Amino acid sequence: MFFYELHEGDNEVFADVIVVSESEWEPDEFFDLVQSIRRRIQDTFIHDTLSEAIAVELEREHGFVYVSDDSLVASVNISTDESENFLVRTAVELADADDDDDDDDDDEEEDEAVDYKAVIVELDPSLRLN
């Protein structure tokens, strides 16, 4: 297995994508392939990022495997502190849950297990941070 990274970002925000191939590509050859895909789709892609769109095309057209969050089966939080080690529920795991489970009485338990919060912020683009 050979791993290749697509990196996209400006000075502060980055998006990395990993693709895997069973065959080895010379770095220059891989670069040329990515550039040809980028030129073809850069104005028409429908994914969140250009790197994701290129990864999808590499998978579809050239046999790469796009390693995305959608393909995660398990995620484990690890720490030297025993109490901070736990299995994180993934979307794939939740989708595979039994349909006959009564979710109404589990809502409170699930809310307590969430390890993230969303923060919505309105920014005034006319203000500049220095």
Average pLDDT over residues 92-104: 50
This prediction's pTM: 0.60
The 10s digit of each residue's pLDDT in 60-87 is 999 999 988 777 778 888 999 999 898 8
Last residue of one domain, picked from the residues 69, 96, 124: 69
Same domain, 59 and 75: no
Higher pLDDT, 15 or 93: 15
Q: Find the range with the poorest average confidence among 29-33, 52-56, 71-75.
A: 71-75
Q: How many domains does the chain have?
A: 2
Residue 56 φ/ψ, nearest 5 degrees: -65, -40
CATH code, domain carrying 34: 3.30.70.2710
- b or e along 15-52 (b: 16 or more beta carbons within 10 Å of the residue's beta carbon)? eebebebeeebeeeebeebbeebbeebeeebeeeebbb
Is the pLDDT at 111 greater than 70, yes or no? no
More confident site: 23 or 121: 23
Same domain, 65 and 99: no
Asked if residue 32 and residue 64 are part of one domain, the reply reads: yes
Q: Is residue 82 part of a domain?
A: yes
**Is residue 88 within 8 Å of residue 69, measured between CB atoms?**
no
- Host domain of residue 15: 2-69
- What's the rounded mean pLDDT across residues 39-61? 91
Residue 94 has pLDDT above 70, yes or no: no
Q: Above 70 in pLDDT, residue 103? A: no
8 A C-beta contact, residue 65 and residue 55: no
What residue has token string 């697509």? 6
With contact defined as beta carbons under 8 Å apart, do 65 and 59 qualify? yes
* pLDDT over 90, % of the chain: 38
13 belongs to a structural domain:
yes
